């Protein structure tokens, strides 16, 4: 079963699944239903809009933001092999606004398609637009449907790429010591090697959720973790 399928099986679709805090004071919360809708739109864009087939390689180089788990879940739900900062060539590279300068300078991103996310709290387009040939997620993804039917073989081809080696989605198990329904905490201290698992995979495997905090000081972080009952994986 794909990540989208697991989202569909949550018994309470109104409960929080992805919560995002920024040091600017913003807080965004996506319920299970809202996350499933966002994953459906992203998955439809990847498969139907870009024509990706199961087994495609997708590098998801987004910063720690609520969009990161959405695109990881979507990519795995179309049967892709997913990693961070993958060496090219890859079929798709999904980046944040920090990559705009290098893209505008014409630096080869090593991908057939490049998708840029503004990482705006509300998912708005990139201010001022993106370079020619680059896709602005905020403009494009909203036009896709709120539901999704994964291809029959998607779960079998989906994989997490770690150090270049594929770990099949179908064989992944939760990280040690994670209880059912765990609420995981992710911040700048979460290592790159563990980030995709912590932010998108482990929460689904235990029927839990994730809280992402960025730009917070020590006191803010501790207070939010206590309020949200969130713990490091």
Mean per-residue pLDDT for 205-220?
97
Mean per-residue pLDDT for 165-190?
93
Residue 175 — pLDDT band, cuts 50, 70, 90? confident
Q: Helix, strand or coil for residue 139?
A: helix
Q: What is the DSSP letter of 154?
A: H
Among 216, 228, 230, smallest CA distance to 184 is for: 230
Predicted confidence (pLDDT) at residue 24 exceeds the cutoff of 90: no
Mean per-residue pLDDT for 175-181?
88
pLDDT in tens, 94-125: 999 999 999 998 988 999 999 999 999 889 99
Among 158, 155, 168, 140, smallest CA distance to 48 is for: 140
Among 144, 44, 42, 47, smallest CA distance to 94 is for: 42
Residue 163 — pLDDT band, cuts 50, 70, 90? confident
Averaged confidence pLDDT in the chain: 95
Residue 64 lies in a domain: yes
Residue 233 lies in a domain: no
Predicted confidence (pLDDT) at residue 40 exceeds the cutoff of 90: yes
Predicted confidence (pLDDT) at residue 176 exceeds the cutoff of 80: no
Residue 177 lies in a domain: yes
Instruction: Say which CATH number the domain at 10 has.
Output: 3.40.50.12780
pTM above 0.85, yes or no: yes
Residue 176 lies in a domain: yes
Residue 35 pLDDT: 98
By percentage, how much of the chain surpasses pLDDT 90?
91
Strand order in the sheet with 16-22: 27-31, 16-22, 209-214, 183-186
Q: Element (H or E) spanning 215, and its range?
A: none
The pairing of beta strand 111-116 with beta strand 159-162: unpaired
Residue 185 — pLDDT band, cuts 50, 70, 90? very high
pLDDT in tens, 58-90: 999 999 999 999 999 999 999 999 999 999 889
* Separation of alpha carbons 3 and 6, rounded Å: 5
Domain of residue 99, residue span? 3-228
By percentage, how much of the chain surpasses pLDDT 70?
100
pLDDT in tens, 7-19: 999 999 999 999 9
In total, how many domains does the chain have? 1
Residue 233 — pLDDT band, cuts 50, 70, 90? confident
């Amino acid at each position: 079963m794909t990540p989208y399928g697991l989202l569909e099986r949550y018994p309470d679709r109104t409960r929080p699944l992805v919560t995002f805090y920024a040091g600017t004071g913003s807080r965004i919360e996506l319920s299970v239903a809202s996350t499933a809708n966002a994953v459906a739109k992203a998955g439809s864009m990847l498969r139907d809009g870009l024509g990706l087939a199961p087994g495609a390689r997708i590098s998801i180089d987004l910063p720690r933001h609520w969009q990161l788990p959405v695109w990881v879940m979507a990519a795995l739900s179309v049967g892709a092999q997913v990693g961070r900062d993958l060496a090219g060539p890859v079929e798709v590279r999904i980046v944040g606004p920090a990559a705009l300068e290098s893209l505008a300078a014409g630096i080869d991103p090593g991908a057939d398609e490049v998708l840029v996310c503004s990482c705006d709290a509300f998912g708005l387009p990139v201010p001022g637009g993106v370079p020619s040939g680059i896709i602005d997620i905020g403009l494009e993804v909203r036009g896709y449907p709120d539901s999704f039917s994964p291809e029959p073989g998607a779960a079998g081809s989906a994989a997490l790429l770690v150090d270049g080696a594929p770990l099949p989605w179908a064989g992944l198990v939760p990280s040690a010591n994670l209880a059912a329904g765990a609420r995981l905490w992710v911040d700048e201290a979460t290592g790159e090697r563990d980030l995709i698992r912590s932010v998108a995979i482990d929460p689904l495997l235990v029927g839990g959720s994730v809280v992402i905090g960025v730009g917070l000081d020590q006191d803010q972080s501790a207070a939010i973790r206590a309020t949200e009952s969130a713990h490091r994986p």
